[in-house]
């Protein structure tokens, strides 16, 4: 049974695991689908997306650096996409318009709470970064019941803007990056910076890692190596990369497009063997 055409847009995009993941999901239901990568520079993104859907595309995943542009293109958007101001999923509606979703936060929380069995309620959380990735997960952390969310970014204006958008000053607030050594210990530390992707070191103090701390990098593979090594050296109880989040967000997109929820565990297990 043919399920139609799908793609993931990014720049660069050749490294993407999305085609492999979606094909694995499709096999669970006996579906045949065309899923490809489309490398579009920022200036060409809008035209490439419009061409893809004009040619019969049914759905697209969107990754860096296009999530903000994808949200701007859509005619309808989910609450999560509106809160984040970005989208990682675009879906063709029956009338030819596009709907935007952002499944990043839900995917991350589900990976942590269901796959890794860590309850986030009551945790003191530290969010490193205030860009698009941080916007994608901040509200989901709040919804998951963290006690406080401290946002730290090298550009304090961006952190302040995110905290203001959340609008719960008693729970979500900002601190300066240079103050990290004196902020005390946290139960949850989420790396939403682009440092690992860019091959840069964060040089974080060990003192921010609490006794029961979970350290989570939104990246996976080589990009997450330095942060996870730091977390383990600091004595974190858990240190996870974002591979499970990637699989969960893909499952959300698959369910949106096909109306069926895939089993993520065997796909995650296969990829985990590959990425250690």
Summarised one tens digit per residue, pLDDT across range 30-85 is 999 999 999 999 999 999 999 999 999 999 999 989 999 999 999 999 999 999 99
Q: Beta strand 124-128 with 89-92: parallel, antiparallel or unpaired? A: unpaired
The CATH number assigned to the domain with range 105-241 reads 3.40.50.720
Peptide bond into 12 cis (omega under 30): yes
Q: Which residues of the chain, if any, have pLDDT below 70?
A: 1-3, 276
Exposed/middle/buried for residue 273 (C-beta within 10 Å: 0-12, 13-18, 19+): exposed
- Domain extents for the chain? 2-102+244-275, 105-241
Ordered alpha helix ranges (H), 55-191: 67-73, 79-84, 104-110, 132-143, 156-166
The structure's pTM equals 0.94
Residues catalogued as catalytic: 67
Per-residue pLDDT tens for 101-111? 999 999 999 99
Check: CB of residue 7 under 8 Å from CB of residue 52.
yes
Check: CB of residue 209 under 8 Å from CB of residue 189.
yes
Fold agreement (2-102+244-275, 105-241):
yes
The CATH number assigned to the domain with range 2-102+244-275 reads 3.40.50.10860
């Amino acid at each position: 049974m043919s399920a139609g055409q799908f793609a993931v847009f990014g720049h660069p995009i050749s490294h993407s695991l999305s085609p492999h993941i979606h094909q694995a999901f499709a096999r669970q239901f006996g579906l045949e689908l065309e899923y490809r990568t489309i490398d579009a520079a920022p200036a060409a993104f809008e035209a490439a997306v419009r061409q893809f859907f004009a040619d019969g595309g049914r759905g697209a995943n969107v990754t860096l650096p296009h999530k903000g542009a994808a949200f701007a293109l859509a005619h309808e958007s989910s609450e999560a996409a509106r809160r984040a101001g970005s989208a990682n999923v675009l879906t063709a509606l029956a009338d030819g318009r596009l709907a935007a979703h952002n499944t990043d936060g839900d995917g991350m929380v589900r990976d942590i709470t269901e796959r890794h069995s860590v309850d986030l309620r009551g945790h003191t959380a530290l969010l490193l970064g205030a860009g698009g990735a941080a916007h994608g997960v901040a509200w989901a952390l709040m919804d998951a019941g963290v006690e406080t969310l401290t946002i730290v970014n090298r550009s304090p204006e961006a952190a302040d803007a995110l905290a203001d958008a959340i609008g719960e000053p008693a729970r979500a607030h900002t601190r300066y990056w240079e103050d990290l050594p004196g902020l005390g210990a946290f139960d949850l530390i989420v790396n939403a910076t682009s440092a690992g992707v860019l091959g840069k070191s964060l040089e974080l103090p060990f003192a921010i890692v609490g006794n029961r701390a979970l350290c989570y990098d939104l990246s996976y593979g080589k990009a997450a190596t330095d942060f996870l090594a730091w977390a383990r050296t600091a004595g974190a109880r858990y240190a996870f990369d974002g591979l499970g989040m990637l699989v969960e967000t893909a499952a959300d997109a698959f369910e949106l497009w096909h109306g069926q929820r895939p089993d993520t565990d065997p796909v995650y297990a296969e990829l985990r063997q590959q990425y250690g």
